[in-house]
Structure formats: structure tokens, C-alpha cells
Amino acid sequence: MNKKKIINDPVYGFISIPTELIFDLIEHPYFQRLRYIKQLGMTHLVYPGALHTRFHHALGAMHLMGLAIETLRSKGHQITADEEEGVTIAILLHDIGHGPFSHALEQSIVEGISHEDISTLLMNKLNGQFNGRLTMAIDIFNGTYNKKFLHELVSGQLDMDRMDYLNRDSFFTGVSEGVISFDRIIKMLNVVGDHIAVEEKGIYSIEKFLIARRLMYWQVYLHKTVIAAEQLLGKILKRSRELALSGRRLFATPALDHFLANTISKDDFINKDHHIEIFASLDDTDIMSAIKVWANDSDPVLSQLCRMLMQRNLYHVDITNKPPDKKLITHLIGNAKKKYPVSEEELSYFVFADTIKNNAYKPGDGSIRILMKDSTIQDITIASDNSNLEALAKTVKKYILCYTKTLI
């Protein structure tokens, strides 16, 4: 069978699958599942084009990794064929542990274990199935391989993951502020002292990359309507799990039912094989099919929330720099009491506060190093003459108040 396939990617054009092992990994059910998990969760409710998948994104990151390796080799850095395949597999599989609507799922149903942990578990399982041929890829992914710069290409301030998702998410949402000069940044990459560095003439492309990341967070990932949809989905999953754990039988696919009706610890995940296998069959379809049925459930909280999501009647969200006014919260809770036939505790499904954070750049460990013309290394915030970059290094915390629109 010919495994040298070419894929037509809407962002980069034709991209190729570099080796037979990588082709076999892409064909594996664990990876094919990513076709059915949207990259941006509920963002399509704001930007209708944001329907691209984690499968798309993983292939795009794989393509960019190939360009990065080619650039570093052209500058005299030794990267063997095995190392190239290893780092390519590491970036290809970096998101394999994501569940459907990952953020909401991790906060409500699959608690105590992150998608990064699940990615590692699935990669270890694949390594067993492929007779140890993923060992180097796993070492690179975990940062234990002796060439640290390879890990930085997979997980760092300028990794191929970020490079692809900024480019791809801006392409599919139509938000042009996220467009970055990925090709120029990759051409400026170098290795100094076993760390990735960017040559000085790439400074302006890096500045644009950091500013694009900040703008994409506020305009796409933390857009108030996206927050409203994701908070609503999170509350739906929380309520369904509450009901399932109290003994209620809810409509759900077998995979979703397994996680609704059982409390599974991180140790259980790691030590009992069947949990990870069931997780590897979960995708967006499991969640959305359940929500369509739950919209007619007898529980007034669950049915109300599901109808709101299906009809895109989302929470109203206030985003502020200070904690929300307590008098306003009390007023809204009073209105919710009159409107909804629910208990005191259940009112928190209709009125609640939370926080969001955005930091475009974390200097220090894993910082963006600039290789100056005099061969010294400087952090981007020092090397750049753009004073705004120091502001980007600060974590911005904002407060959100969510409530159903009929409570005003």
C-alpha cells in the first residue's frame, strides 16, 4: 500500500505525510477520533466558520514541524532521521488526549486529570501497539530527551502547536488580527546552547506573533459570547453528572454514561486500562446527542439549560476589571427565585460569577530568546524596542458575571 500521501490543507496548501509510521499513526482510531472534535469548541456560535477540527490542527502542526527541522538542518544543526520522525510524532500526537469540548469536560466530568496526562497515557498505549517505535517521540514530548530544543518545538513559547492554531483559528474564524508570519518566524529559528532562539532580524515577526496571540484571546477564545456558550455547556455537564451520581438514569451513549455515572480518579485512569479506552471513544457527537435529548428531560434545570444551548439563547455575560456588584447578584438571584421552580442551591445554574485570565507571554523559563548580531542572547522583552511587550508579559485577570437574559 502506498503510504506517501499528500493532503490538501486549506491553510498551507499541499502537505505530505513524511513516513510510513506517521501514516499508520494517523490511520489509528485514537487519531481518527480527532476528526469529530472541533478545535474551538462552542466558538462557531459566534464565528460560524470555526468548525475546523483537532485533526486539521494536528496535521498543520506536523507540517510546520517539517519546515522547522529543514530550517535548523540548513543552519548546520545535527538532527537525525529518527529524531526528525520522533519530534514529528510528538507534535502530531500532542492533542490526542483532548476530549470533546475539552475545557468544559475537564471541569465537570473528567476531573483531576488533564488532557496532557491523557495524551501521555494514549501515547504510551500506542507505543505498546507499535512495538516501542514511539519511545523517542514520548521522550521528546515529556522533555526527557537529551536535545532540549526538540521539546521546545513541541511545547514552548514558540512551538509549532501555537504557530498552527493561531494561523488556523484566524483563517477559519475570519479574524485577521490572528494572522502571523509563520513562515518568516520558522526561517529565523536557530539553536543556541540547546535552546531554540530567533535571529535578531525576526524580532518584528515575534512582536506581531505575541500581539496576535493576545488579540485572538480577547477576540476569539475569550469573546464574551464564547464564554457564555462554554459556561452554559459546563453547567449542563455539571448538572447531568449531579443527576447521574444521585442515581438518575439519563439518556447517554455508553461512553458518556461511563463518565457521568462514575467518579474516576487520576490513579484509576492510569492503572485501569478500560477507562482510557472508553475515553478514546468520546467525541462531540456523544455530548451533542445527549443535550438534544436532555432538552426534554423532567429535571427543570437540565432541560432549561439544554434548550438554551440548542436555541443559542445563551447567558448574558458581564466582563469587568473588579468583582461584580454584590447587590446586583442578590437582585438577580431574587428574580431567578421567582422565575425558576428550583431549590436555593440550584439557582447557581442561572446566576453565578467566575474569573478569566489572559497572558500572551510568560518570560523566564521557556522564554523567547533572541540571538543578537553580536551572538548574545536576550529575552524578547529586552531585545524589542516595543514597550507594549512588557505589558503582554503580565497576566490579565477579569471577572465575569453570568445570568439568564430574562432576569434583568
Nearest-CA neighbor of 362 among 392, 398, 396?
Answer: 392
Residue 112 has what pLDDT?
A: 78
The x, y and z cell numbers of residue 202, run together, are 525576526
Residue 268 has what pLDDT?
A: 87
Nearest-CA neighbor of 264 among 252, 278, 251?
Answer: 278
The x, y and z cell numbers of residue 231, run together, are 459556561
Average pLDDT of the chain to the nearest whole number: 93
Residue 363 has what pLDDT?
A: 59
Kindly give the parts of the chain with pLDDT less than 70. Answer: 360, 362-366, 387
pTM: 0.94
Q: Domain 6-223+370-382: which CATH class?
A: mainly alpha
Contact 301, 383 (CB under 8 A): no
Contact 42, 50 (CB under 8 A): no
Residue 365 has what pLDDT?
A: 54
Its CATH architecture, for the domain 240-356+401-407, is Up-down Bundle (1.20)
Residue 110 has what pLDDT?
A: 78
Q: To 5 degrees, how large is the angle CA 18–CA 21–CA 25? A: 100
- Residue 380 Cα distances to 20, 123, 207, 313, 360, angstroms: 39, 34, 8, 43, 13
Residue 362 has what pLDDT?
A: 66
Q: To 5 degrees, how large is the angle CA 177–CA 103–CA 316? A: 70
**Where along the chain do its domains lie?**
6-223+370-382, 240-356+401-407
Residue 241 has what pLDDT?
A: 94
